[in-house]
Amino acid sequence: MKHFVQISDCHIDDNTQVMGVNSQASLKKIVARITTLKNDALLITGDLTHHGTCQSYQKLKQILTPITTDIFAIAGNHDNLGNFKTELGAYLFDTITLGSWDIVQINSVQMHQTSGFVTTQALTKLDAQLQNSKNKHIIIVLHHPIVPMNSTWNDALSLKNPQDLFKVLDKYPKIRVTLFGHAHEAAEFSKNGLKIIACPSTALQFNNEKRIGFNYYTLFDNGHLSYETQWITR
């Protein structure tokens, strides 16, 4: 049995105030809660920063200092990949192995666009990674939603070509779950037998939820996954 935490859309900036909230103070509260949990890894699914400055990545790293487990992250549309690599390059990954599970990421970020798109190159790389995975179970991670959110969220800002992604995912029954952020809300969906989970933001939600939160996962060797969205008053 393994445990990991998913946080998303931290939007750390040079200034404390972002989108009307103190994103730094909020993330500190989230980190304090995470340190109380049994945890094998921390996964961040994009928009670590708001404007992608080197200083904001440095601030993020400082806030995450109490986390003693390995930290893994992917970029979101607000991130600057060059500055990300410079300041937090050790967080970037292709595949994470936790027990009998592989967590595999695919890049969905378009340059200077809010919506997402998975390129042919990214899909080919993902297909190869999935073919080469020797583990029993797989989780796919990306930044953008791959299904309609059925909420106030504007689905035009989600992944533009989910059908291309599903053509690859549907080939591999070992894939149990797909995780994403970007929409700033907690939700769960199912498509073709695949569980699909949205992670709330550590900064603020885009729906009526006033709290901040994260997802806490338990992975079982038999392929079962359970999770809880943990909420904190901002």
Question: pLDDT tens digits for 31-42?
Answer: 999 999 999 999
SS3 74: strand
Per-residue pLDDT at 135? 95
Under the banding of pLDDT at 50, 70 and 90, the label for residue 218 is very high
pLDDT, position 7: 98
Under DSSP, is residue 51 helix (H, G, I), strand (E, B) or coil? Answer: coil
* pLDDT 10s digits, 139-194: 999 999 999 999 999 999 999 999 999 999 999 999 999 999 999 999 999 998 89
Element (H, E) at 121: helix 120-132
pLDDT band at 120 (very low <50, low <70, confident <90, very high): very high
Question: Considering the entire predicted model, what is its pTM?
Answer: 0.97
Flag whether pLDDT at 234 surpasses 90: no
Which residue reads 């299904």 in tokens? 147
> What is the structure's pLDDT at 192?
87
Q: Identify the CATH class of 2-232.
A: alpha beta
Give the 3-state secondary structure of residue 162: helix
* Mean pLDDT of the chain, nearest integer: 97
Predicted confidence (pLDDT) per residue in 199-216, tens digit: 999 999 999 999 999 999
Q: Quick one: pLDDT at residue 11?
A: 98
Yes or no: say if 201 and 184 are a contact pair by the CB < 8 Å rule: yes
| pLDDT band for position 53 (cuts 50, 70, 90) | very high
pLDDT over 70 for what percent of the chain?
Answer: 100
Question: Rounded to an integer, what distance in angstroms lies between the CA atom of residue 213 and that of residue 230?
Answer: 5
- Average pLDDT of the residues in 97-105: 98
- pLDDT tens readout for residues 59-79: 999 999 999 999 999 999 999
